[in-house]
Structure 1
Amino acid sequence: MSETLHNRLLAALDRDEAIGLLRGAIGCNSVTGDEVTMVAYLDRQMRSRGLEDVEIAEFLPGRPNIWGRRKGSGGGRRLQFIGHTDTVHVEGWREHWAGDEREDPFGAPIIDGEIWGRGAGDLKAGICASLAAISLLDRAGIRLKGDVDFAFVGDEESGEPGSGVSAGVKAHVARIAAGRLPRPDFVVYTEPTRLAVYPAQIGFFIADITITGKSAYFGVPELGRDALKASHKVMSALWAHSEEVSARAEHALVGKGFLLITTLNGGGFIAVPERCTLSLIRKLLPGESLDAAARELEEVIRGAVTDPDIAVEIAYPAGRDHALGGTAAEIDLDHSALAMLQESVGQAMPGRGGAEGAPFWSETPFFVNGLGIPAVYCAPGDIRNCHTFEERVSVEEYLAGVVAFAGFIARYCGVEDEN
């Protein structure tokens, strides 16, 4: 953004109002499955900031999405900000911080220039920065040509029983695909990036493997089929497969693919172990086929079990934008919007705004791969402290995000000629 625009936005920034917006959002308990309080808060905030066509609709009973827009005068491009309203659980938080001002996970205290609480970074800072950016443009007297859409969806986080399958964003993109909501030209998903811009992200699938043999008394092991021994062979083959996958290719932003065995359970009570279970996660690079990767994995697993009397079952419990998992995604690094966003962030907070790869999976593939709409991640907050008792966001980084988003909106959507 131009120096004139940047200075104009800085002069108009109401720090206390923007900080209050975020602290109020953190104060809403919205653990996955209980997003309704956060949506009610956003409904009030969106309407008070002059957004139009604000609507709430349930994607599952008792679990709503919310969306609305700031209409421009016409002739500009359409931008969408999207983020998830749900957070991970707060179990153990109060015990961890007992007697400390951080004891309430929804209290949002400010300590040493950081706002603490569940959801502070993941990802209420991003949601609030996008809404505060609209108010900042209004205070600066900047009128837009293009429209700015906002959509806040539930069910992104995993960990709660029967949820965490991206049901909210699936409902949202279905509306876009059906023409019931306008199609954006560019999407910013407000996952925490420390104000880097992520035009690429990993893909993944989780595999649960059950190996079943036959139990037998320890004194006559020849009568049994040892599932634990078969599991050892499977794990050895999987680790070798991971090394092979890593050696194939390296993506400039997201690195190498691999698989990680995350759990092993099994054994027998003074007997040949009859059953063992393994779980693993496979990281995929942009361009890798999830179906092909799963087929290859199954060949490795079944090839390691040579005893025909030992059964192997493989399940994929974490379908997202694909039945087996989540696809990887990337957009063109030369996309003009990417450069605009990077420049706006770098001006708002020098040293930030670089292009990096997302080390996590979130929901831009629903847009990039599903709808063919370019999308990136960008927001204040540090993913490294999210999902922990240390979750917090820097006040200055958050406010820089507000200014950066306002500048990017103005540049991307276009502004009316004030002369």
Structure 2
Amino acid sequence: MSGPAAADRLLGRVDHDAVLELAERLIRTQGHQDLPVHERAVADLLADELATRLPGERSEVSLQAVDGGRANVTAVVRGGMPGPTLMLNAHLDTVPGYGMPDAYRPVVRDGRLYGRGAVDMKAALAAMLTCLDVLAAPDVAFHGELVLTAVAGEESGSAGMQALAEGRTSGAPARADFAVVGEPTSMRVARAHKGAMWIEVEFEGVATHGSVPHEGVNAVYHAARFTTAVEEHLVPRLSGRTHPVLGSATVNVGVVRGGDRPPMVPARCSVQLDRRWLPGERHDEVLEEVRDIVAALRRADPRVSAVVREMEGTSGFVHAPLECPEDHPGVVLLSEVVGERLPGAGHPVGVDFWTDGALLAAGTGTPTVVCGPGDIAQAHSLDEWVPLDQVRAATEVYVDFAARYLRTEISGRGAHG
């Protein structure tokens, strides 16, 4: 038995109760930047679960050191016939609880799974592990390899994906023929997302007493002229730069901070921007556009003094956009599978938020998309949740897609029958 018929038969083997139980165990296991070893406990749990479920010569499970005691987890299932490598990717960490009540005590209520990491992205991780489990059955053969990479630190610097993409983790493939990152897209196939850059412009003036402001240089006034220029000139310029599924490039003035006391002319004022950039834009040009605004202000008023820098949140590495061609065979097939499972959701889309998928694609050349259960709006929230029907759909989509992409065959002799 092969082709779609094999995929249908494999779907009958999925234990959705077990997927939910695993997602709950992952939520109970904390893994975030406030802990001494971050997400290591989650990595150990996942590695143990994979080793239990994937015995035999066709499978291999390994931990790869990333940063101190932290680790990525990689599982490889070999199909037994030559063919492509399909990678499923998720991150192990979450943001901290941040005051979420019972953040690490998962509960199912009103068709939703609540808990920190439920949507970002432990439900997707449980679904992906189940996909490997199903395709590793003794009576299942396929072309190529099915790989799960679970990486450390996506929420705080992407140390795990940087190590993977740069080939610094032994036991993990350097490149795949296609990759699916399970960040929440409501199970839409996101073939592109925007790049991200946080920019700080720090204006320097001259402080003096507030009763004689003409003897000083007010840094807040210069910052105000800058924000006005951003709104009146940069915003319209960016709105004219568009992408077929991402819409326009954007900039947001998120923080303005300056001054000490009312009776003082402020000597410093900082403006912080969130810039989302499109495929086709260049990292250095994004910064240069902001520097050009400051230069124009300086030409109008030589007293303007400012430093433009990329902020720590994005300066560790280039947070580039992601784009996979709409006609890539993986995009076409995954969209078809999603459309069959979720009518009306099969057309590829773009998302505004950044993911590790951009690092994977840029570092290894792997064609990469994002497709996972739940809505990004619930991520990092104080009542984080994922719909159970989306978890079910994700598990079925991953199994169905992997079976078809890897041209799976079932002999009928395995323990599953």
Taking structure 1 as the reference length, the TM-score comes to 0.90
Find out whether 1:105 has 2:98 as its counterpart.
Answer: no
1:152 aligns with one of 136, 142, 150: 150
Q: Which amino acid counterpart does residue 185 of structure 1 have in structure 2?
A: D
Shift of residue 241, structure 1, vs aligned partner: 3.1
1:192–1:382 contact (8 Å) kept in structure 2: yes
2:234 aligns with one of 238, 242, 251: 242
1:9–1:140 contact (8 Å) kept in structure 2: no
Counterpart position of 2:73: 66
Counterpart position of 1:349: 342
Secondary structure of the structure 1 residue equivalent to 2:74 = strand
Tell me: CA distance 1:330–1:177, structure 2 relative to 1, closer, same or farther (3 Å).
Answer: farther
2:196–2:354 contact (8 Å) kept in structure 1: yes
2:3–2:404 contact (8 Å) kept in structure 1: no
Q: Partners in 2 of 1:179 and 1:87 — Cα distance?
A: 24
User: What does the per-residue CA deviation read over 1:217-256, in whole Å, with 9 as the maximum and x for residues that have no partner?
Assistant: 1221121001011111111111123323334222121110
User: What does the per-residue CA deviation read over 1:259-311, in whole Å, with 9 as the maximum and x for residues that have no partner?
Assistant: 10000111242011111111001111111111112111111123224443442
**180-189 or 214-223, which moves further after superposition?**
180-189
**206-215 or 297-306, which moves further after superposition?**
297-306
1:213–1:224 contact (8 Å) kept in structure 2: yes
Find out whether 1:204 has 2:196 as its counterpart.
Answer: yes
Find out whether 1:330 has 2:337 as its counterpart.
Answer: no
Find out whether 1:37 has 2:41 as its counterpart.
Answer: yes
Counterpart position of 1:218: 210
2:85–2:176 contact (8 Å) kept in structure 1: yes
Secondary structure of the structure 2 residue equivalent to 1:326 = coil
Shift of residue 369, structure 1, vs aligned partner: 2.5
2:53 aligns with one of 40, 43, 49: 49
Uncovered stretches (5+) of structure 2, i.e. residues with no partner: 413-417
Shift of residue 10, structure 1, vs aligned partner: 3.8
Find out whether 1:295 has 2:296 as its counterpart.
Answer: no
1:191 aligns with one of 172, 183, 191: 183
Shift of residue 38, structure 1, vs aligned partner: 0.6
Counterpart position of 2:29: 28
Q: Which amino acid counterpart does residue 41 of structure 1 have in structure 2?
A: L
Q: Which amino acid counterpart does residue 30 of structure 2 have in structure 1?
A: N
**346-355 or 122-131, which moves further after superposition?**
346-355
Find out whether 1:390 has 2:383 as its counterpart.
Answer: yes
Tell me: CA distance 1:353–1:76, structure 2 relative to 1, closer, same or farther (3 Å).
Answer: same
Q: Partners in 1 of 2:171 and 2:53 — Cα distance?
A: 26
Q: Which amino acid counterpart does residue 313 of structure 1 have in structure 2?
A: V
Shift of residue 319, structure 1, vs aligned partner: 6.4
CA RMSD of aligned residues (A): 2.3
Tell me: CA distance 1:15–1:141, structure 2 relative to 1, closer, same or farther (3 Å).
Answer: farther
**215-224 or 54-63, which moves further after superposition?**
54-63
2:80–2:143 contact (8 Å) kept in structure 1: yes
Instruction: Name the count of aligned residue pairs.
Output: 403
Q: Which amino acid counterpart does residue 235 of structure 1 have in structure 2?
A: T
User: What does the per-residue CA deviation read over 1:18-50, in whole Å, with 9 as the maximum and x for residues that have no partner?
Assistant: 111111111111123610111011111111121
Tell me: CA distance 1:353–1:221, structure 2 relative to 1, closer, same or farther (3 Å).
Answer: same
Uncovered stretches (5+) of structure 1, i.e. residues with no partner: 95-103, 158-163
Q: Which amino acid counterpart does residue 227 of structure 1 have in structure 2?
A: A
Q: Which amino acid counterpart does residue 247 of structure 2 have in structure 1?
A: G
User: What does the per-residue CA deviation read over 1:23-80, in whole Å, with 9 as the maximum and x for residues that have no partner?
Assistant: 1111111123610111011111111121633221221112211112111102121111
Tell me: CA distance 1:403–1:59, structure 2 relative to 1, closer, same or farther (3 Å).
Answer: same
Q: Partners in 2 of 1:85 and 1:281 — Cα distance?
A: 26
Q: Partners in 1 of 2:264 and 2:305 — Cα distance?
A: 18
1:348–1:401 contact (8 Å) kept in structure 2: no
Find out whether 1:131 has 2:138 as its counterpart.
Answer: no
Shift of residue 154, structure 1, vs aligned partner: 1.4
Taking structure 2 as the reference length, the TM-score comes to 0.90
Find out whether 1:4 has 2:5 as its counterpart.
Answer: yes
User: What does the per-residue CA deviation read over 1:146-202, in whole Å, with 9 as the maximum and x for residues that have no partner?
Assistant: 211111111211xxxxxx221111111122799973521111111111110011110
1:110–1:116 contact (8 Å) kept in structure 2: yes
Q: Which amino acid counterpart does residue 413 of structure 1 have in structure 2?
A: L
1:252 aligns with one of 241, 244, 250: 244
Counterpart position of 2:415: none
Counterpart position of 2:270: 277
Shift of residue 331, structure 1, vs aligned partner: 1.2
Counterpart position of 1:88: 95
Q: Partners in 2 of 1:155 and 1:116 — Cα distance?
A: 22
Counterpart position of 1:365: 358
Secondary structure of the structure 2 residue equivalent to 1:83 = strand
Q: Partners in 2 of 1:185 and 1:8 — Cα distance?
A: 25
Q: Partners in 1 of 2:174 and 2:227 — Cα distance?
A: 48
2:3–2:407 contact (8 Å) kept in structure 1: no
Counterpart position of 2:254: 262
Find out whether 1:415 has 2:415 as its counterpart.
Answer: no
